[in-house]
Amino acid sequence: MPPRSSLPLARLAPLVAALALSACVTPQPVLPPAAKGPPVPLSLTAGLDRVMGKDARALEVLFGPADQDVREEGARKLQYASAVCVLDAYLYAKAQGKEPVVTYLDARLPNGDDFDRASCIAALSRRREAR
């Protein structure tokens, strides 16, 4: 039988070892619960709402006078250009006798390469503010 004084230390040894090891464990971050349901799709027209459905007067307020104004039967194209991009806004009347509004937009770099339409709108509207 071991000496009486060593019994309490022998019983404490596993507890001391467990405490020492627990100090080495890195706490794991608590993650929020996963979202339920399908992800919300991003709108492909984000940023275009400043122009889509607007008439020529609204475009002039936003961008200033068009750099080019082309009229054809039942349609009108207003072009706005800067060193950043060129924006073509196509206006069509939704009904006989109604004011034509923007129904389609095309944006490109001055060299003709495609450019993001919303970014072009933002750049051209800043051009107007700088005047």
Residue 70, both tokens: 């082309």
Distance CA 106, CA 54 (A): 15
Residue 116: per-residue pLDDT = 97
From the candidate CATH numbers 3.30.70, 1.10.3470, 3.30.1450, 3.90.79, the one assigned to the domain spanning 48-130: 3.30.1450
3-state DSSP call for residue 39? Answer: coil
- For the chain, 131 residues long, give each residue's pLDDT as a single digit of tens: 555 555 565 666 666 666 665 666 566 666 566 556 665 554 555 689 999 999 999 999 999 999 999 998 889 999 999 999 999 999 999 888 899 999 999 999 999 999 999 999 999 998 755 44
Cα torsion 63, 68, 69, 75: sign: negative
Q: What is the pLDDT of residue 74?
A: 85
For the chain, the structural domain boundaries read 48-130
Q: Which two tokens stand for residue 43?
A: 């709108």
pLDDT at 1: 54
The DSSP call for residue 59 is H
Alpha helices in 64-111 (DSSP H): none
Distance, in Å, from the CA atom of 119 to the CA atom of 93, rounded to the nearest integer, reads: 26
E strands, the chain, in order: 68-72, 75-81, 86-92, 101-108
